[in-house]
Chain A
Amino acid sequence: MDRLLPLIQNETLKIWKKKRFYVVVLVLLVLIPIFTYAQMKIAENNQKNFRDWRSQTMQQISDYQNALSSERIPEEWKRFRRIAVQQLQYYLDHDVNPRSPDGVTFTRGFMANSVTLFYPLLVLAIASDLVSGERSSGTIKMLLTRPVRRWKILFSKLVALTLYVSLIVVASGILCYLISGAIFGYGGWTMPIFTGFLINGSDVDSAAVHAVPQWLYMLMQAGLIWFSSMTVAILALMVSVLVRSTAASIVTMMAAVIAGTILANMSSSWTSAKYVFAVNIDLTGYLAGSPPPIEGMTLLFSLLTLGGWAVAALIVSFGVFTKQDILN
């Protein structure tokens, strides 16, 4: 442990002083009010048109059913709708509101929708130049000439990165709750949420469904977001070791993440796409019981795939970083 803690402290403070975390917070401070406003407009409209959540849920079910009866709609899309109908019906049958308008519910939705693109982007803001930044500024030579083993340096960067990923997820949740709560109210912590829907083709098996209070659901969801963000962070660390310039490193990672999201939306026929890490990023979908992007994917599968990518990336990062010649 000698020298490791000071190294971690050094890396953590470097990231802080580079004001990367400020950027993340600033982006959140701009975006969250925009989404809150949009959500407020939707809520106002619903309040005008529906007596209560039951009528609203009923109407949603019947709208989906009408879409299902149309022959123009692609089968794949119908499958999603069929599943949604069965889940909404489950909520209705058990007298539970699927989405009450409050700060906690908004935060839950915001975080779940952000997992595929927004969180990776925020993570990249910090992870992308961890190594490549030192190279372009030349400070890497100072770092590597100190009498410290190279793996310890990379390891301290990894620990600092992990700390910031946790901070990003927690800070986004807190900011979102504080901002949206000002509009929707700060309640909703104990509202029951159903989880445990099992998807078989286009049928929903509700044998394992159980209700959890929303605060626990949020905690579980944040944990899953943290796991997928960590995978993105570790991959970004690898790219930043391999690529000389920070811009190239951000572009490479962003391209991979975006390609994965597009694949997830269209690759139902190309099943081996499920081994791509970015297709597995949306872990929160398993919690909510939404159908996976490719049939046959499960939480365990996605965790193993993401874990596999992360371990491979770590091996490559440490292998290259400890052997690499630092020129120029």
Chain B
Amino acid sequence: MRNIPSSNLWRTVSIAAVLSTLLMLTGFGYAVKDMLWPQGETFIGESPTTPPPENKSLSASSEIRITAFGDSLTKGTGDATGEGYVKQVMALLTEKWDKPVSLTNNLAVNGMHAGRLSELLRGDKGYEYAISQSNLILFTIGGNDLFQLATGKSASEATGEVDLDKLKEQLPSGLQRFKAVIERIHEINPNAQVVYMGLYNPFYDIDELREGSLAIQQWNQEAYAIMHPYSNMTLVPTFDLFENTIGTYLSSDHFHPNHDGYAQIAARIVQSLD
């Protein structure tokens, strides 16, 4: 520093500092003005430009893009490894066809029910985008509609309080909401393969609640009827996995499958795809 005379140094430092101070004061003043008297104004960015995937069967496509959504089953609750069926489906598909398999999104939220899902599919641009960008859609829904609304509690906590009559009462309205979901998925992306995982009765081993399986089967049958008009949609049954082998495939919360249970479901989903 010795070779710079102090007056030169002073000039440099002071000019830089005074300019900085003025800049900061401007910024501060603008921030205060902008925040105390804000003026709302809608700004819309650029719509997505990425092309949707090719319209071919999965085995003929060059890559597989998966979007999964729905309730805790798609989330993978109960699987100690956190994979759930979605990640296992990805692994099996990679093995089956040896092509890139990617997960666009797993949007599942614990406790999701058909009414909320149908709202999201209609109002949430993110769902629309994720679904339109995929050629394989995996989802589960309905469990919470039947169990939660029948007990007023979240599905996984409802054990022992399930009222079978109420469960049956929920069927028609639940199915109506399910229909709205299916129609909306078809509207957003009529080309993707859609796989819906049917419901099972997690209380099959409790004698008083075994009868619930009949209501569940009624749901599955109606759901199949709703999906039937769309040739790209498949319902994969799961109820049989959780009858005699319920102890092997159900996790300790006695509601969600465990890792092996999800593995069986994943295997079935992959078998159904072409």
Contact = CB atoms under 8 A, between A and B. Distances in A.
Asked if A pairs with B, the answer is: yes
B129 interface: yes
B101 to A, nearest CB: 13
Nearest to B123: A93
Contacts of B44: 94-95
Given A192-B45, A207-B40, A223 B17 contact: no
A192 to B, nearest CB: 6
Contacts of A69: 109-111, 154
Given A16-B9, A166-B17, A220-B30, A208 B23 contact: no
B31 A221 contact: yes
Contacts of B108: 62, 66
Nearest to B127: A58
B35 A196 contact: yes
B43 A94 contact: yes
Chain A interface mostly helix, strand, loop or mixed? Answer: helix
Given A13-B9, A170-B23, A196 B107 contact: no
Contacts of A57: 126
Contact of B26 (A17, A66, A92, A223): A223
Contacts of B17: 12, 163-164, 166-167
B34 A220 contact: yes
Contact of A163 (B21, B43, B102): B21
Interface in B1-50: 1, 6, 9-10, 13-14, 16-18, 20-21, 23-32, 34-36, 38-48, 50
Nearest to A9: B10
Contacts of A226: 24-25, 27-28
A212 interface: yes
B109 A210 contact: no
Interface residues of B, number: 55
Interface string A259-303: 000000000000000000000000000110000000000011001
Interface string A66-101: 100110000000000000000001001111110000
Interface residues of A, number: 57
B110 A13 contact: no
Given A58-B130, A62-B108, A95-B45, A212 B35 contact: no
A115 interface: no
B43 A192 contact: yes
Interface string B126-142: 11011001000000000
B172 to A, nearest CB: 26
Given A17-B1, A66-B110, A166-B21, A59 B105 contact: yes
B10 A12 contact: yes
Nearest to B22: A166
24 contacts: A9-B14, A12-B10, A17-B1, A51-B50, A52-B48, A54-B48, A58-B126, A62-B108, A89-B124, A94-B42, A94-B43, A95-B46, A163-B14, A196-B34, A196-B40, A210-B38, A210-B40, A211-B41, A219-B26, A220-B31, A220-B34, A222-B27, A223-B26, A299-B36
